[in-house]
Amino acid sequence: MDLISIYKDPFIIYIYMASIPFFVGLFQAFKLLNLIDANKAFTQDAVHTLKMMKLASLTLIGFIALAMLYIRFFVHGDDPAGPTALGIIISFASIVIATAAAIFQRVLQNAVDMKSENDLTV
């Protein structure tokens, strides 16, 4: 196989497309850490960053589910147990991240609302 024929496989192209939400979520995590470092943790930007992390995790779960279905039904002659187990583990980790981001988003949104309410009363 030469270098060009490797990238003609549609599954490889799909994996590269599926990595985009992972890197978006990673970028948003670094952005949230920078906001915390700059003492801007209780702002609407932090809430938006957590929302983007949640959406990136949920999108990644969708991509992984579709990849697992593709491997299960269209790849013959190979054992699908390994990639399926790997997909389940990565999906579980993404579910945990999405759940944590959703909880933190709600708590942070309540804190931002209380902060803006207190700023108006002074």
Q: pLDDT tens digits, the chain, 122 residues: what are they?
A: 677 877 787 888 899 999 999 999 999 999 999 999 999 999 999 999 999 999 999 999 999 999 999 888 888 877 888 889 999 999 999 999 999 999 999 999 999 999 888 888 75
CA distances from 72 to 9, 19, 87 (A): 17, 20, 11
Token look-up 């992972």 returns 22
Predicted TM-score (pTM) of the model is 0.86
Three-state DSSP class for 40?
Answer: coil
Give the domain ranges of the chain. 3-121
71 neighbors 81 (Cβ within 8 angstroms): no
Please enumerate in sequence order all residues whose Cβ is within 8 A of that of 56, keeping only pairs 6 or more positions apart, or say none.
21, 22, 24, 25, 28
